[in-house]
């Protein structure tokens, strides 16, 4: 049986999932067979893979201070895979989440040396993510030169949004040099658009806000399943408040931090990406569950601010859409945190959203009252599956 692997390679971790391709692979017939994670890269690496039934397939860790690179660790994983039959599955391609496709890439593409160079040139636009995405692509190209790899972009879903939604109010020359609003979490939104079309095709053909609320968080305004606006912009810092990222911020604050408070660009980057958001406001944690259980007033304020910011940005996207027919919650907080969903929906009552609190506390997917003018759903996202589906399609196209 054939299989594809999805890889999400970040700064300190590499997540991987193996999908077996069923008889109707062209129509999304994929079964998750195994998955795992290499984590704490650069600190004390640990590698774990398990089957979908929970059977541990591989578990290795290295002592504190072990400086194995992404490439070294992937080599370990591939060496193990070479000695294991993977239940007779033949890996035909590897798909990667690549954060930035720039202005050029509106769809997944097969990786070759020329593409890798183009993606490398985009690293300054996503310095915390893109280099690590590319590290995995390069390492696998070395280890398995004949195994096709496909790059799937987080920006691609937003590529064709209206021109106004892509433009900052900056001089035109900067826009032409790529300083634009790109948008991210596109693989998640694409999956949500597909699932919503299966669950509620009428709503999917209307005006919907998808709310990807995890450690990273953003909203996407979708019209008939296409992105027309989103809260993230040039980088994944923009828009909503996140676990450790500040979201939208008066750019004057950045100038002040550097010119008046003497912070270096590197210190400001660290502050905005790693020390702000829920963590910065609460002073307790970046994790929503920890904050909910904390009882400290600053933790409650961070939770309240998160909901307030989602409500505020959702109002802006409802304007971009010219009204609202539905909202879909997804990712760690969106899928699991009924209290946060309730806080957000109460803020959107003025748009005609009437939350069914009982359904919200249950299993969903529909959590709005039957006569609510704006519908609300909870739909678990699956970016890995989306990557696998794209990868299979691109590889099929190549061999067709
Ligand atoms: P990432 O962006 O890293 O993929 P996730 O989508 O896993 O993040 O979301 C992580 C967030 O989801 C954390 O803030 C975590 O506290 C929150 N979360 C996960 N499960 C729950 C839960 N049952 N209740 C509330 N929050 C949850």
Q: Write the DSSP string, 274-316.
A: HSSHHHHHHSS-S-HHHHHHH--HHHHHHHHHHHHHHHHHHHH
Looking at the structure of the chain, the number of domains it has is: 2
Whether residue 335 has its Cβ less than 6 Å from ligand 1: no
Q: Are residues 299 and 207 in the same domain?
A: yes
* Residue 63 lies inside a defined structural domain of this protein: yes
The CB of 288 under 6 Å from ligand 1? The reply is yes
Residues 282 and 142 in one domain: no
**Residue 132: inside a domain:** yes
Judge if 137 and 205 occupy the same domain. Answer: no
pTM of the model: 0.94
For residue 169, tell me if it sits in a domain.
Answer: no
Q: Which two tokens stand for residue 106?
A: 């509106």
Kindly list the strands in the beta sheet with 149-153, ordered across the sheet, starting from the edge strand earlier in the chain: 56-61, 46-51, 30-39, 14-21, 2-9, 90-98, 149-153, 109-110
Domain of 268 in residue numbering reads as 201-378
Regarding whether 357 and 298 lie in a shared domain, the answer is yes
Give the separation between CA 364 and CA 380, rounded to whole angstroms. 10
**Is 337 close to ligand 1, i.e. is its CB under 6 Å away?**
yes
Would you say the CB of residue 216 lies under 6 angstroms from ligand 1? yes
Under DSSP, the state recorded for 366 is B
**pLDDT given for residue 400 in this prediction:** 43
- Do both 215 and 364 map to the same domain? yes
In a domain, residue 190? The reply is: no
22 within a domain of the structure (yes/no):
yes
Is residue 167 in a domain?
A: no
For ligand 1, atom 24: residue with the closest CA: 337
CATH assignment at residue 320: 3.30.420.40
What was the pLDDT predicted at 319? 98
Q: Are residues 247 and 360 in the same domain?
A: yes
Dist. CA 335 → ligand 1 center (Å): 8
Ligand 1 contact, 294 CB (< 6 A): no
| Ranges of the chain whose pLDDT falls below 70 | 85, 87, 398-400
Q: Atom 2 of ligand 1 has which residue's CA nearest to it? A: 215
Region of residue 366 (phi > 0: left; psi between -120 and 50: alpha; otherwise: beta)? beta
Which pairing describes strands 109-110 and 14-21: parallel, antiparallel, or unpaired? unpaired
Q: How remote is the C-alpha of 334 from its chain's centroid?
A: 13
Q: Are residue 142 and residue 240 in the same domain, yes or no?
A: no
Q: Do residues 140 and 216 share a domain?
A: no
Residue 389, in any domain of the structure: no
Instruction: Out of 12, 185, 288, 332, give the residue to mutate to test ligand 1, the one with the largest number of ligand atoms within 8 Å of its CB.
Output: 332
333 lines ligand 1 (CB under 6 A): yes
- The residue from 122, 153, 184 where one domain ends is 153
Beta bridge partners, 96, equal: 7, 151
| Ligand 1 proximity of 243 Cβ (cutoff 6 Å) | yes
Question: Which is the closest atom of ligand 1 to the Cα of 331?
Answer: 6
Percent of the chain predicted with pLDDT > 70: 99
Distance 175 CA to ligand 1 centre (A): 34
Q: Catalogue the active-site residues.
A: 154
> Residue 85: its pLDDT value, please?
67
Q: Which DSSP helix (H) or strand (E) runs through 220?
A: strand 217-223
Whole-angstrom CA distances from 178 to 17, 122, 269 are: 33, 10, 20
Identify whether 16 is part of a domain.
yes
Q: Within this chain, do residues 76 and 221 fall inside the same structural domain, yes or no?
A: no
Helices 186-199 and 383-399 pack at an angle, to 10 degrees, of 90
Q: 109 and 218 in one domain?
A: no
- Do residue 103 and residue 220 come from a single domain? no
pLDDT tens per residue across span 149-208: 999 999 999 999 999 999 999 999 999 999 999 999 999 999 999 999 999 999 999 999
Q: How far is the CA of 151 from the centre of ligand 1 (A)?
A: 26
Q: Confirm if 193 and 225 have CB atoms less than 8 A apart.
A: yes
Same domain, 212 and 302: yes
Q: What is the pLDDT of residues 279-288, one digit of tens each?
A: 999 999 999 9
Task: Return the ligand 1 atom nearest residue 381 CA.
Answer: 6
Helix or strand (DSSP H, E) at 259: helix 251-259
């Amino acid at each position: 049986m054939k299989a594809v692997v999805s890889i999400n390679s970040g700064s300190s971790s590499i997540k991987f999932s193996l999908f077996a391709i069923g008889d109707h692979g062209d129509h999304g017939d994929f079964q998750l067979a195994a998955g795992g994670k290499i984590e704490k890269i650069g600190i004390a690496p640990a590698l774990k893979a398990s089957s979908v039934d929970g059977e541990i397939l591989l578990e290795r860790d290295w002592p504190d201070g072990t400086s194995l690179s992404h490439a070294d660790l992937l080599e370990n994983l591939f060496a193990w895979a070479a000695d294991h039959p993977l239940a007779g599955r033949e890996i035909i391609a590897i798909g990667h989440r690549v954060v930035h496709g720039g202005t050029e890439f509106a769809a997944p593409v097969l990786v070759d040396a020329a593409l890798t160079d183009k993606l490398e040139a985009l690293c300054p636009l996503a310095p915390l993510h893109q280099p690590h995405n590319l590290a995995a692509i390069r390492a696998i190209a070395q280890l398995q030169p004949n195994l096709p790899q496909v790059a799937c972009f987080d920006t691609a879903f937003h590529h064709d949004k209206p021109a106004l939604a892509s433009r900052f109010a900056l001089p035109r020359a900067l826009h032409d040099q790529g300083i634009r609003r790109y948008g991210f979490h596109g693989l998640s939104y694409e999956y949500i658009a597909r699932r919503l079309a299966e669950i509620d095709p009428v709503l999917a053909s209307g005006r919907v806000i998808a709310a990807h609320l995890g450690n990273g968080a953003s909203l996407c305004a979708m019209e008939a399943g296409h992105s027309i606006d989103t809260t993230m912009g040039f980088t994944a810092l923009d828009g909503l408040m996140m676990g450790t990222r500040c979201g939208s911020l008066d750019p004057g604050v950045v100038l002040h931090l550097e010119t008046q408070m003497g912070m270096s660009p590197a210190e400001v980057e660290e502050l905005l990406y790693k020390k702000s958001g829920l963590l910065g406001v609460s002073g307790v944690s970046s994790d929503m569950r920890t904050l909910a259980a904390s009882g400290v007033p600053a933790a409650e304020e961070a939770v309240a601010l998160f909901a307030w910011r989602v409500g505020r940005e959702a109002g802006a996207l409802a304007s971009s859409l010219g009204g609202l027919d539905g909202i879909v919650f997804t990712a760690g907080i969106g899928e699991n945190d009924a209290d946060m969903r309730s806080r957000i929906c109460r803020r959107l009552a003025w748009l005609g959203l009437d939350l069914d609190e009982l359904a919200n506390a249950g299993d969903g997917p529909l959590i709005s009252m039957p006569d609510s003018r704006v519908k609300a759903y909870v739909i678990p996202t699956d970016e890995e599956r989306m990557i696998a589906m794209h990868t299979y399609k691109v590889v099929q196209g190549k061999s067709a």
